[in-house]
Amino acid sequence: MTQPFVRPDVRALLDQMEAAGGKRAVDVPLEEARGMLHASRHLFDATVGELAVIRDIAGGPCPMRLYDARLKRGPGPVLVFYHGGGFVLGDIDTHEPLCAEIARLLDLPVVSVGYRLAPEHPFPAGVTDAIEAARWVAESPSELGRVATGLVLAGDSAGGNFTIVTTLALRDEPAAVPVLAQWPMYPAADPTTEYPSLGQYGEGYLLSRASMHWFDECYAPDPKDWRYDPLQQEQRGLPPTLVITAGLDPIRDQGRAYAAACAKAGVSVIYLECAGTIHGFMNLRKALPSAQADLERCAAHLRLMLAGA
């Protein structure tokens, strides 16, 4: 069998993790698993860097944080971001470097959403928070300090799932302003279907099949509910969509299937598959310098999408 292409920086990181013992989320207690993701940020992700605004937002349906490259700005689009972590791990802090960089690259205010996590808050608590947070931002509340003329919804992994579900929810019951674009990153877009990539990359490429099973047990979703498996819904009528996947990701094929469903439904969709890299690469930009170019390529596509919105 032909070995898959692995970028040199990805190979070095995987070898480093294996030499260190290669603990997975499923192998340790919950709080330790959460701590591992926080430690990963400081070990492997880029620094936050300079930004005009980084502040927590009060008054919303759940914790949120605003990132903006400008101290003040006029009315315009606002990007709402949902962090990954299998619905169980991650928070606003683990994804702060990524949100700050998105704010710089897109020159947009970014609102990071700290939704409730499983197993303390199983399905559908987190996705309910995600939808309500987007609606709240769309209303331009005074606590936000920005006037939203439209939303861009984005998120990675489990947050990619929330991105798609929230876009569908706001298509069917619109918020105060429209969703201009969505950007699911290596999304859990069709979690009830087992695709070939799960067997190909479910061990040895950071995200493991065993950890995914543990995430699912913690989240305790209803597999028949579209808020867990958004491909059960018709995708027609969605805004321009950018789907990005990693070539060595066990859930890569879920992203492929989602992009195909969008195209079949007549949605304007761009699909970018980043060859030779792994799930979560957007949060590993210090360890994986190649990921910065991937992120910049996404930003370039989104700027063109928004220019035509």
> Counting Cβ atoms within 10 Å, is residue 293 exposed (0-12), middle (13-18) or buried (19+)?
exposed
> Counting Cβ atoms within 10 Å, is residue 139 exposed (0-12), middle (13-18) or buried (19+)?
exposed
- CA-based max dimension of the chain: 58
Distance from C-alpha of 37 to C-alpha of 207, rounded to nearest angstrom: 12
Residue 1, pLDDT score: 57
Mean pLDDT of the residues in the chain: 97
Residue pointed to by tokens 């439904």: 265
* Structure token digits, residue 42: 């400081």
Active site residues: 157, 249, 279
Residue 309, pLDDT score: 73
Q: Architecture of 8-307 per CATH?
A: 3-Layer(aba) Sandwich (3.40)
Which amino acid is residue 292, in one-letter code?
A: Q
How do the domains of the chain map onto residue ranges? 8-307
Instruction: Give 134-191 pLDDT, tens digit per residue.
Output: 999 999 999 999 999 999 999 999 999 999 999 999 999 999 999 999 999 999 999 9
**Are 192 and 123 spatial neighbours (Cβ–Cβ below 8 Å)?**
no
Instruction: Give 273-282 pLDDT, tens digit per residue.
Output: 999 999 999 9
Three-state DSSP class for residue 154: strand
**Are 278 and 248 spatial neighbours (Cβ–Cβ below 8 Å)?**
yes
Residue 239 backbone class (left: φ over 0; alpha: ψ -120 to 50; beta: rest): beta
Residue 20, pLDDT score: 83
- pLDDT for residue 21 is more than 90: no
CA dihedral of 230, 176, 304, 288, whole degrees rounded to 10: -60
**Are 79 and 106 spatial neighbours (Cβ–Cβ below 8 Å)?**
yes
Instruction: Give 194-209 pLDDT, tens digit per residue.
Output: 999 999 999 999 999 9
Distance from C-alpha of 66 to C-alpha of 68, rounded to nearest angstrom: 7
Query: Could you tell me the pTM of the whole model?
Result: 0.98
Q: Residue 23: beta bridge partners? A: none
Distance from C-alpha of 58 to C-alpha of 56, rounded to nearest angstrom: 7
Residue pointed to by tokens 């987007």: 134
**Are 174 and 150 spatial neighbours (Cβ–Cβ below 8 Å)?**
no
Three-state DSSP class for residue 189: coil
